[in-house]
């Protein structure tokens, strides 16, 4: 999707976007070599997001608040670390979240970026996690509330926006994959008044997304969020507005 965007921006000849795999002990040396060799920047993913933040000479506000960076830019002035996870998530939402009652499922790295974005935009954020201590810690740090992890289901009427950041749904719905029963809200209780963002994505629509949209909820999938995160990184590097529809088409063609 990045290369499709670069082509449409007229940069295909000079710029290209490629995947490089690196083990944690080699990460810093690779990044410094890339900066010295004239790369414009890099996206960074798990497990390097904290290391990316730590090696940068300058850190953006979002990256500092979230404690992780997914975007590095190289310039003669040094290495700048930024985070487009929060921006990409917000840009993918069908409507601004201010004033909405949001339920974040999960308390890992993705939940942190999502919950920070929602709190910063003025939503009322509740965090649920399988391991409740992690939800409590995250909620305490960000000014959200933590929900207890009990067997009782949450009432969908208490929320306008539900964001699944857990890995439930990531492995498809086959045998052995954690099913919707692992989550505290029933997908079939969501309806027209709900927006669901399911960060889990795979070749097929997740069970959660499909059940929720079948009941009339507005659903945003993980690929759509990924497109907007990618676009936000490209905007930082190129200074131009990336063609979202082209990126979306390329992402979904795979």
| Catalytic annotation, residues | 49
Please identify which residue in 30, 55, 108, 186 interacts with ligand ATR, judged by CB under 6 A. 108
Q: How far is the CB of 186 from ligand ATR (least distance, A)?
A: 15
> Which residues pair with residue 196 across a beta bridge?
162, 219
85 vs 13: CA distance, rounded Å: 28
Each residue 109-148 as x (binds ligand ATR by CB under 6 A) or -, in order, gives: xxx-----------------xxx--x--------------
**In the complex with ligand ATR, which residue's Cβ is closer, 230 or 243?**
230
Q: How far is CA 185 from the centre of its chain?
A: 21
Each residue 54-83 as x (binds ligand ATR by CB under 6 A) or -, in order, gives: ------------------------------
Is residue 166 part of the contact set for ligand ATR (CB under 6 A)?
yes
Candidate ranges 54-62, 85-93, 107-115, 234-242; the one touching ligand ATR (CB under 6 A)? 107-115
Is residue 46 part of the contact set for ligand ATR (CB under 6 A)?
yes
The H or E element containing residue 78 is strand 78-82
Please identify which residue in 41, 106, 222, 242 interacts with ligand ATR, judged by CB under 6 A. 106
Is residue 178 part of the contact set for ligand ATR (CB under 6 A)?
yes
Is residue 210 part of the contact set for ligand ATR (CB under 6 A)?
no
Count of residues engaged in binding ligand ATR, rule: CB under 6 A:
17
The H or E element containing residue 103 is strand 101-105
User: Residue 41 in 3-state DSSP?
Assistant: strand
Strands of 124-128's sheet, edge to edge? 145-146, 124-128, 101-105, 161-164, 195-198, 218-221
Please identify which residue in 120, 124, 167, 189 interacts with ligand ATR, judged by CB under 6 A. 167
Q: Read off the tokens for 169.
A: 């749904």
Judge contact between 82 and 62, C-beta under 8 A: yes
Q: Read off the tokens for 18.
A: 């490629």
Residue recorded with tokens 């857990």? 166
**In the complex with ligand ATR, which residue's Cβ is closer, 182 or 193?**
182
Among residues 252, 250, 246, 194, the alpha carbon closest in space to that of 223 is found at 252
Q: Read off the tokens for 190.
A: 């969501």
Q: Where do contacts with ligand ATR occur on this chain (CB under 6 A)? A: 46, 106-111, 129-131, 134, 165-168, 178, 182
């Amino acid at each position: 999707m990045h290369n499709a965007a670069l082509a449409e921006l007229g940069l295909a000849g000079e710029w290209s976007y490629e995947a490089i795999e690196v083990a944690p002990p080699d990460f810093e040396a690779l990044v410094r070599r890339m900066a010295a060799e004239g790369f414009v920047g890099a996206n960074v993913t798990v497990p390097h997001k904290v290391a990316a933040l730590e090696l940068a000479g300058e850190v953006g506000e979002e990256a500092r608040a979230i404690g992780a960076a997914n975007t590095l830019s190289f310039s003669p002035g040094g290495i700048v670390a930024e985070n487009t996870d929060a921006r990409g998530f917000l840009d993918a939402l069908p409507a601004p979240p201010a004033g909405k009652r949001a339920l974040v499922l999960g308390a890992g790295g993705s939940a942190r970026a999502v919950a920070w974005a929602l709190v910063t935009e003025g939503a009322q954020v509740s965090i649920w996690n399988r391991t409740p201590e992690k939800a409590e810690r995250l909620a305490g740090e960000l000014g959200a509330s933590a929900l207890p992890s009990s067997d009782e289901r949450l009432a969908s009427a208490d929320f306008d926006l539900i964001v699944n950041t857990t890995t439930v749904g990531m492995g498809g719905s086959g045998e052995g994959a954690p099913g919707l029963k692992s989550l505290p809200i029933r997908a079939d209780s969501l309806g027209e008044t709900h927006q669901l963002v399911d960060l889990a994505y795979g070749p097929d629509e997740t069970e959660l997304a499909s059940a929720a949209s079948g009941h009339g909820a507005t659903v945003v999938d993980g690929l759509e969020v990924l497109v907007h995160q990618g676009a936000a990184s490209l905007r930082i590097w190129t200074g131009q507005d990336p063609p979202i529809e082209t990126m979306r088409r390329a992402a979904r063609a795979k």
